[in-house]
């Protein structure tokens, strides 16, 4: 396997006045016991844009993503700052459940509840205190429209979510995350279990969503990263080696390791 100088990095920095940020991490480090899994996680995520996190398995990208809404709290020690609207959401006093309403997450495998399509979205809303039927119906419809699923399910919202196809289930999970009105949406390989047609629909939905949300997405698909994202971060062995506009990364990356990875000449 080729070795790369992990000190050689190119991390694009934004002026937050010119480019408003949806989320920012400062020196995020993750430890699984003694295992130092993530080192220098300092990234700025522009608001209303899609950032793709790419890298080989074990490079730290999923660890990094899951840390962003505190999914690693029980299994790892996460040091450093995660700034959302100038608040460090990695601080111990933060109410994690409240924070997750702002920073939603969609997982690799679709995980709908064993409930109707309607209740998959309405259930968490009810739990959060929403009682009005009309409000619930409105929010369910809006979320399904945003996730580009409404037209396919609107005629039978009482159908079990488990009867939907994998691609539809994944968009339902996105709709469920959107129902809480988050600002930031985290996606962990959202299309890895989907066929190309479902993937296309999901990517189109993400592209439309980025107008209103800050989206951070882990993907193993180079094509997906290049097609969908505005910015790309390349992870290697727990280090972020490069971060820049996707069109720059996929045409003239600054770092040899990035070049090798995206062109398949890696390892």
Partner 1 sequence: MRGIFEDELKRLHGKFTEMGINVSEAIYRASKSFIDHDKALAQQVIEHDEEINEEEIKLEDEALMLIALQQPVAADFRQIIIVLKASSDLERIGDHAVGIARESIELKGEQRVPEIEDDIGEMTNNVRSMLEEVLDAYVKEDEVGAKQIAIANQQIDKAYANVREKTIEMMKQDSKVITGSASYLMVASYLERIGDHISNIAEWVVYNKTGHLAELTPDHHPEEN
Binding residues vs partner 1 (CB under 8 A): 200, 203-204, 207, 223, 226-228, 246-247, 250-251
Minimum distance of partner 1 from residue 59's CB (angstroms):
22
Minimum distance of partner 1 from residue 183's CB (angstroms):
23
Token readout for 33 is: 């016991």
Minimum distance of partner 1 from residue 226's CB (angstroms):
4
Contact present, 246 and 235 (Cβ < 8 Å): no
Coil, strand or helix at 7 = coil
Residue (79 or 212) nearer to partner 1, CB: 212
Minimum distance of partner 1 from residue 190's CB (angstroms):
14
Place of tokens 């006093």: 93
Which element (helix H / strand E) includes 97?
helix 96-100
Residue (223 or 265) nearer to partner 1, CB: 223
Q: At what angle do helices 166-179 and 117-127 cross, to 10 degrees?
A: 20
Q: Give residue 93's region: left, alpha or beta (phi > 0; psi -120 to 50).
A: alpha
How far CA 186 is from CA of 23, 58, 99, 136, 218, in Å, comes to 11, 18, 13, 24, 8
* Length of the chain as a residue count: 267
Residue (30 or 50) nearer to partner 1, CB: 50
Minimum distance of partner 1 from residue 262's CB (angstroms):
10
């Amino acid at each position: 396997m080729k070795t790369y100088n992990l000190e050689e990095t190119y991390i694009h920095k934004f002026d937050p006045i010119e480019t408003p940020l949806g989320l920012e991490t400062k020196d995020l480090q993750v430890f699984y016991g003694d295992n130092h899994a993530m080192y220098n996680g300092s990234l700025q995520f522009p608001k209303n844009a899609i950032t793709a996190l790419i890298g080989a398995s074990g490079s730290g990208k999923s660890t990094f993503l899951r840390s962003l809404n505190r999914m690693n709290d029980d299994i790892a020690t996460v040091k450093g700052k995660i700034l959302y609207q100038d608040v460090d959401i990695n601080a111990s006093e933060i109410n994690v459940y409240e924070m997750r309403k702002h920073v939603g997450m969609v997982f690799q495998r679709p995980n709908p509840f064993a409930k109707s399509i309607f209740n998959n979205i309405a259930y968490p809303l009810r739990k959060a205190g929403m009682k009005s039927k009309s409000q619930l119906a409105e929010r369910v419809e809006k979320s399904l429209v945003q996730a580009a699923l409404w037209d396919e399910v609107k005629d039978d919202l009482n159908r079990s979510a488990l009867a939907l196809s994998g691609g539809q289930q994944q968009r339902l999970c996105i709709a469920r995350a959107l129902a809480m009105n988050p600002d930031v949406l985290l996606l962990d390989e959202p299309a890895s279990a989907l066929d190309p047609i479902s993937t296309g629909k999901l990517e189109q939905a993400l592209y439309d969503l980025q107008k209103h949300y800050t989206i951070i997405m882990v993907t193993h698909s180079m094509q997906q990263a290049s097609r969908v994202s505005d910015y790309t971060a390349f992870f290697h062995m727990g280090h972020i080696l490069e971060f820049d506009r996707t069109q720059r990364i996929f045409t003239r990356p600054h770092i040899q390791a990035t070049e090798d990875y995206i062109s398949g000449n890696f390892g």
